[in-house]
Structure 1
Amino acid sequence: MLRTLGVFVARHRFASLLVWAFTIAACVATALFGVTGESLFQRLSSAGPTVAGEASEAADLLAGDDGTDTESLSLLIHGVDLSTPELATILTAATTDVADIDGVTGVVNPLAVPPLPDGSPNPAAVPLLAPDGTGLLLSVQMEAPDGDLSDDLLTEVEDRLAGAADQVLQFEPDATVEVGGTPLLVESLVAVAEADLQKGELIALPIALLVMLLIFGGFLAAGIPLIGALASIAGALGALYAFSYLMEIDTTVLNVITVIGLGLSIDYGLLIVSRFREEFRSLVDRVGERDTPAERQETMLQAVGITVDTAGRTVLYSGLTFAIATAGLLVFEPTIIRAIAIGAVSVVLIAILTALVLIPALLGYSGERLLRPGLLTRLPGLGAILTRFGDVAPREGVFSKLTRHVQRAPVLVSLGGIALLLLLGSPTLNINVSSGGTGAIPKASTQYGFVTALNDQFPLATAPLVQLVSDTDEESAAAWAAEVATLPNVSAATPPVDVNGYWVSRVEVDQNEGPAVVREIRDDRPDFLHWVGGTDAASVDYVDSLVAGAPWAALIIAGATFLLLFLMTGSVVIPLTALMISVISLGAAVGILVWGFQEGNLAGLLDFDADTIAGVDPLVLTLVLTFGFGLAMDYEMFLLARIKEHHEQGESTRLAIETGLQSSGRIISSAALIIVIVFAGFATGNLLQMKQIGVALAVAVLLDATLVRTIVVPAVMTALEKVLWWAPRWMHPIHARFGMRE
């Protein structure tokens, strides 16, 4: 079937490329300009991951249900004398001006809120006043039916507040004056994500092209995988736009899906083009140069068919393994993880299609030109290097020699390699899984100044990290708050106030200690109806939700991977060793993640504040483990396909390992180098989550393609050579019926 597909596409290449060009153009146009007037970037959100739990229930109780949805913007002023007449005049005029805007439901000027009869500050104004007495927040509430805030309304309110901010700076130039709020924060994070995406591509694509030039020695062969990569990115953007009407798509989803699609499609394209050149040369050597164009065309079509039937089958199995690993994320509750899972499965399927359909059509046009030495090979000095590091490996080379050295003491090498991986993964023993850090807002965000000033100067106006909510009498609620105030890492707990019929106390905790405090409070609950809420409580609920789903996700991923590897090899030993080695390798990558971010050792290099990071973000950890496993299986498939091929040709297990690694080592190393560059390029962005994902996956791929795939795997397979291809007798008919065959 695959051979027929490859020949058909190459024979009808003009029609195939025309369909692809139309599809890519439609996806790009849809993503950039939309169908209903909104582009993909306008439809993105940045609400963060949420799950149903105690914290969300508490938030719903306090929010009540008055039938209206609102969003707010604030004018933040700090470092001024609040008694200045000019300030009062500006704020009074701004309040009147903004209140007249259609869609504004309320404006709160804390200077205009009268004090209580006893002269104390009005509780409604206290959160809007800086504790040091030199700042305030002018808060504006706007209609947002069903959570949809009008862009025109947002722009008009923002412009009016910005005008007032300019007036304040005219009489107090040294004051801190910012306009901000959740709608502007979401806009800024989407803009940062878009900029990071462009920056990552500008870094990754040129370097990837350079690497492929070194591999193939010419622009034609090097360009074909990049065309496939660009097509995959376009397809991914179109798919995400469609999914944005079915679920909320976070900014993180866009960057993650794009980087995965870019890396995989380059990998697959590299494998297909390399195998085509190998098979085409082999056919030409066997049948000789054909005389007529029709005969030469037939030879080319045969080469395409063999390529799609061999390397294309490897791509199909590899892609399905990655897709299944990603689909395991669907068992988790958070919408953002499910969105990433659906988007990743979509982009993997698109990458498979580009490898099996688009690239064979491009090969049909390139044909014999791919066999000719590229222009770069004619340059003095460079030609020898390109010839030495070409894509088609000789029978004897670096990888075969390395394998023979490894095979002299396979048990010792296996133990040594595994020990090194365990050492790299040792920081994982101190991992703290928490999304409670405050460093998620990048400095590149236009809202960074507002968020920083809000957190530093107006703590009571920020969302509480920990909050006590109870349905009891005031005395019992006060006693609970007083008891919580004595806990370690708790600096204070405010007296309870009535909010929507419930008693509410705000708990002040030490930096990054909120999740631990939440768990301690929940471990010793009072005997009346109560809830522990706040952002750190929501983080705890989120982590607990992921922990609950993790065993099912791991079972699905491990089971499906085991089945596919069994169908590919006919062995149960190979899948088990592959799973074991991948887990150890991923542990090493997570260890580097903990060492670099939780412990702050990469703060200087990657420009982030280590003090704001409470631990490893659970979303980052989930994606690193899932995508890292999928990429590891990618290279496992590349290697096993060639080892199995040589073994079926009659070579002994030991020799098949040697020749299989020699045949695939260059492509695995080249593909890994490119994908490391892709991940590293995106790690230079501003979003902290993308920095962590980029670094961890770059490390995972680097370790897998060097230490694991070229040393540990050959050593372990050689040590187990006597039982490597074993499977229970009852499984033989299953493999005979459904196993991978060429």
Structure 2
Amino acid sequence: MLRTLGILIARHRFTSLLLWALTIAACVATALIGVTGENLFQRLSSAGPTVEGEASQAANLLQGTEGADTESLSLLIHDVDLSAPDLGLILTAATTDLLEVDGVTEVINPLAIPPLPDGSPNPAAMPLLVPDGTGLLLNAQMVAPDGDLSDDLLGEVEERLGVAADEVRQLEPDATVEVGGTPLLVESLVAVAEADLQKGELIALPIALLVMLVIFGGFLAAGIPLIGALASIAGALGALFGFSYLMEIDTTVLNVITVIGLGLSIDYGLLIVSRFREEFRALVERAGDSETRTERHELMLQAVGITADTAGRTVLYSGLTFAIATVGLLVFEPTIIRAIAIGAVSVVLIAILTALVLVPALLGYFGERLLKPGLLTRIPGLGPLLTRFGDVAPREGVFSRLTRRVQRAPVLVALGGIAVLLLLGSPALNINVSSGGADAIPKASTQYGFVTALNDHFPLATAPLVQLVSDTDEASAAALAEEVATLPNVTGTTPPALVNGHWVSRVDVDQNAGPAVVREIRDYRPDFDHWVGGMDAASVDYVDSLVAGAPWAALIIAGATFLLLFLMTGSVVIPLTALVISVISLGASVGILVWGFQEGNLAGLLDFDADTIAGVDPLVLTLVLTFGFGLAMDYEMFLLARIKEHYEAGEATRLAIETGLQSSGRIISSAALIIVIVFAGFATGNLLQMKQIGVALAVAVLLDATLVRTIVVPTVMTSLEKGLWWAPRWLHPIYARFGMRE
């Protein structure tokens, strides 16, 4: 089927490319321009992951009807004299103007709130005032029906607060004056994500092109995988735009899906083009120099068909393995993870289509020219180098020689390689999974100054990290708050306040200690109904939700991968060893993640504040394990396909391992180098989560393509060569009926 499809597409290349061009144009238009007045970036959110748990129950109890459909912006002023008459006039004028804006429901000026009869500050004003009396927040509430705030309303309120901010700066040049709020924060994070996306592509694509120029020796062959990658990105953006109407798409989803699509498309395109040149060259050499132009064209079509039936089959099952790994994410509760799973499956399917449909169509146009030496090979001194590192591997080379060396003592070398991986993974033993990093707001965000000043000077105006919510009398709630105040890492609690019929106390904790405090409070349950809420409590619920779903996800991923590898090899030994080695390799990448971010060793290189990192973000850990496993299986498929091909051609197991690695080693190494560059490019962005994902996946791929794929896998397979292809007798008919063969 794949052979017939490849020849058909190459023969009708004009129609195929025209359909692709129309599809890509439609995807780009819908994503960047939109069809309902909004483009993809305008439909992104940045609400963060949430799950149903005790923290969400506490939030729902405190959420009254008032404010449920409102958003707010604030004017933050610090280091000023609050008694200055001119300051009062500025705030009063701003309040009057804002109340005349259609859609503004309330403006809270703390200076206009009268004190209590005894002269003490009014509790209603305290969250909006700096405790030492040197700053305030002017808060404007706006109508947001169904959580959708009008852009015109937001812009008008922001503009008027900006005018007031300029007036305060003229009055007090040394004051800290910022305008901010959740709507502006979401806008800024989306803008940072978009900038990171562009920056990552600008870094990754030119370097990827340079690497492929070295591999292929010419712009034509190097450009075909890149065209497939760009088509894949366009398709991914179009798919995400469609999914944005079915679920909430976070900024992280966009970057993750784009980088995965870019990496996989280049990998698959590289494999297809390389195999095509190998097969076409072999057909031409067998035919000799006497073929006519028509005969040569037919040979080219046959080479496309053989490529689709060999490398194309490998791409198909590699992509399916990666897709199955991401389908395992659907068992998790958080919407953001499910959105990433659906987006990743979509982009993998698009990457498969570009490799099996778009690339053969391009080969139909340019395939006959790919055997000619590239322009770069004519440059003196450069030609021999490019020929040496070409995409078609010779029968004898560095990988075959390396394999023979390590096969002399396979058990010893395998144990040594595994020991290195375990050493690299040892920091993972001290992993602390936490989503409470305060550095989540990047410095590149226009709201960084506002958020920083708010956290530093207005503790009561920020969302509480830990909060006690009780359904009891005031005395019991006060007693609970006093008891919690004695716990380790708790710096204080506020007296209970009645909110929506429940007594609420704020719990102040040491930096990064909130999750531990939440668990300790929850271990003690008083006689009355009681909930622990706040951002750190929500983080605890989120982590617990992921832990609950992890066994099911692992079972789905491992079971499906085992089945696919069995259908490829007919062995149960090879899938088991592949799963074990992949787990050890992923442990090494997690160890680097802990060492670099939780322990702060990469803070200087990647420009983040290590003191604010409580641990490894659970979303990052989940995606690194899932996508890292999928990528490892990608290269496993690339290698096993060639080993099996040589084994079925009659070579002994040990020789098949050697020749299989020699045949695939260059492409695996080249593909891995490109994908490492892609991930490293996105790791230079500003979003902390993308830094962590980029670094961890770059390390995972680097280790897999070097130590694992060239040392550990060949030596383990050689050590098990006598039983490597074994399977129970009852599985033989299943493999004979459904097994995949090159």
Verify: 1:360 aligned to 2:360, yes or no. Answer: yes
CA contact (8 A) 1:224 1:362 kept: yes
Q: Distance in 1 between matches of 2:217 and 2:290?
A: 25
Q: Distance in 2 between matches of 1:249 and 1:109?
A: 35
TM-score w.r.t. length of structure 1: 1.00
Aligned to 1:718: 718
Verify: 1:52 aligned to 2:52, yes or no. Answer: yes
Aligned to 2:29: 29
Aligned to 2:388: 388
CA contact (8 A) 1:410 1:719 kept: yes
SS at the partner of 1:17?
helix
The Cα of 1:171 is off from its aligned counterpart by 1.1
Aligned to 1:655: 655
Aligned to 1:236: 236
Deviations 1:386-442 (A, max 9, x none): 011000000000000000001000000110000000000000000000001111000
Aligned to 1:218: 218
Q: Distance in 2 between matches of 1:612 and 1:106?
A: 35
SS at the partner of 1:532?
strand
State how 1:529-544 maps to structure 2 within 5 Å. 529-544=529-544
Aligned to 2:551: 551
Deviations 1:428-473 (A, max 9, x none): 0000000011110000000000000000010110000000000000
SS at the partner of 1:433?
coil
Aligned to 1:313: 313
Q: Report the CA distance shift for 1:50/1:41 in structure 2 as closer, same or farther (over 3 A).
A: same
Aligned to 2:496: 496
Q: Distance in 1 between matches of 2:495 and 2:67?
A: 29
Q: Distance in 2 between matches of 1:268 and 1:549?
A: 31
Q: Distance in 2 between matches of 1:233 and 1:159?
A: 36
Aligned to 2:248: 248
SS at the partner of 1:425?
helix
Aligned to 1:61: 61
The Cα of 1:292 is off from its aligned counterpart by 2.5
Verify: 1:681 aligned to 2:681, yes or no. Answer: yes
SS at the partner of 1:549?
helix
CA contact (8 A) 1:585 1:703 kept: yes
State how 1:517-532 maps to structure 2 within 5 Å. 517-532=517-532
Verify: 1:607 aligned to 2:617, yes or no. Answer: no
Task: Write the letter of the residue equivalent to 2:299.
Answer: T
Q: Distance in 2 between matches of 1:661 and 1:272?
A: 17
Q: Distance in 2 between matches of 1:741 and 1:570?
A: 10
The Cα of 1:122 is off from its aligned counterpart by 0.9
Aligned to 1:199: 199
Q: Report the CA distance shift for 1:720/1:403 in structure 2 as closer, same or farther (over 3 A).
A: same
Verify: 1:454 aligned to 2:461, yes or no. Answer: no
State how 1:234-633 maps to structure 2 within 5 Å. 234-633=234-633
Q: Distance in 1 between matches of 2:367 and 2:638?
A: 24
Aligned to 1:83: 83
CA root-mean-square deviation: 0.6
Task: Write the letter of the residue equivalent to 2:424.
Answer: L
Point out where structure 2 has 5 or more consecutive residues left out of the alignment. none
Q: Distance in 1 between matches of 2:730 and 2:481?
A: 64
The Cα of 1:118 is off from its aligned counterpart by 1.5
CA contact (8 A) 2:410 2:715 kept: yes
SS at the partner of 2:438?
coil
The Cα of 1:368 is off from its aligned counterpart by 1.6
Q: Distance in 1 between matches of 2:706 and 2:525?
A: 51
Q: Distance in 1 between matches of 2:487 and 2:741?
A: 64
Aligned to 1:126: 126
CA contact (8 A) 1:20 1:358 kept: yes
Aligned residues: 742
The Cα of 1:67 is off from its aligned counterpart by 8.2
Q: Distance in 2 between matches of 1:383 and 1:496?
A: 78
Task: Write the letter of the residue equivalent to 2:282.
Answer: S
Counting aligned pairs with the same residue, the percent is 88
Q: Distance in 1 between matches of 2:603 and 2:567?
A: 45
SS at the partner of 1:503?
strand
Aligned to 1:739: 739
Runs (4+) of structure 1 exceeding 4 A deviation are none
Point out where structure 1 has 5 or more consecutive residues left out of the alignment. none
Q: Distance in 2 between matches of 1:739 and 1:730?
A: 14
Q: Distance in 2 between matches of 1:345 and 1:730?
A: 33
CA contact (8 A) 1:290 1:296 kept: no
The Cα of 1:66 is off from its aligned counterpart by 4.3
The Cα of 1:289 is off from its aligned counterpart by 3.1
Verify: 1:183 aligned to 2:183, yes or no. Answer: yes
Q: Distance in 2 between matches of 1:332 and 1:118?
A: 54
CA contact (8 A) 1:68 1:143 kept: no
The Cα of 1:527 is off from its aligned counterpart by 1.4
The Cα of 1:293 is off from its aligned counterpart by 2.2
Deviations 1:471-513 (A, max 9, x none): 0000000000000000000000111010011000000000000
Deviations 1:670-719 (A, max 9, x none): 00000000000000000000000000000000000000000000000000
Q: Distance in 1 between matches of 2:671 and 2:289?
A: 31
Task: Write the letter of the residue equivalent to 2:171.
Answer: F
Q: Distance in 1 between matches of 2:132 and 2:261?
A: 51
The Cα of 1:329 is off from its aligned counterpart by 0.3
Deviations 1:593-626 (A, max 9, x none): 0000000000000000001110000000000000
SS at the partner of 2:650?
coil
SS at the partner of 1:439?
helix
Task: Write the letter of the residue equivalent to 2:650.
Answer: G
Q: Distance in 1 between matches of 2:64 and 2:506?
A: 18
State how 1:667-706 maps to structure 2 within 5 Å. 667-706=667-706
TM-score w.r.t. length of structure 2: 1.00
Task: Write the letter of the residue equivalent to 2:604.
Answer: G
CA contact (8 A) 1:327 1:341 kept: yes
Q: Distance in 2 between matches of 1:5 and 1:641?
A: 20
Q: Distance in 2 between matches of 1:520 and 1:548?
A: 20
CA contact (8 A) 2:284 2:296 kept: no
SS at the partner of 1:123?
coil
Verify: 1:72 aligned to 2:66, yes or no. Answer: no
Q: Distance in 1 between matches of 2:65 and 2:520?
A: 31
Aligned to 1:4: 4
CA contact (8 A) 1:478 1:496 kept: yes
Q: Report the CA distance shift for 1:68/1:504 in structure 2 as closer, same or farther (over 3 A).
A: closer
CA contact (8 A) 1:391 1:666 kept: yes
CA contact (8 A) 1:127 1:461 kept: yes
Q: Report the CA distance shift for 1:511/1:67 in structure 2 as closer, same or farther (over 3 A).
A: closer
Aligned to 2:18: 18
CA contact (8 A) 1:567 1:738 kept: yes
The Cα of 1:290 is off from its aligned counterpart by 4.8
The Cα of 1:68 is off from its aligned counterpart by 4.7
Q: Distance in 2 between matches of 1:415 and 1:59?
A: 52
The Cα of 1:130 is off from its aligned counterpart by 0.5
Task: Write the letter of the residue equivalent to 2:337.
Answer: I
Task: Write the letter of the residue equivalent to 1:397.
Answer: G
SS at the partner of 1:467?
strand
Task: Write the letter of the residue equivalent to 2:176.
Answer: T
Task: Write the letter of the residue equivalent to 1:242.
Answer: G
Deviations 1:517-545 (A, max 9, x none): 00000011211101000000000000000
The Cα of 1:288 is off from its aligned counterpart by 1.7
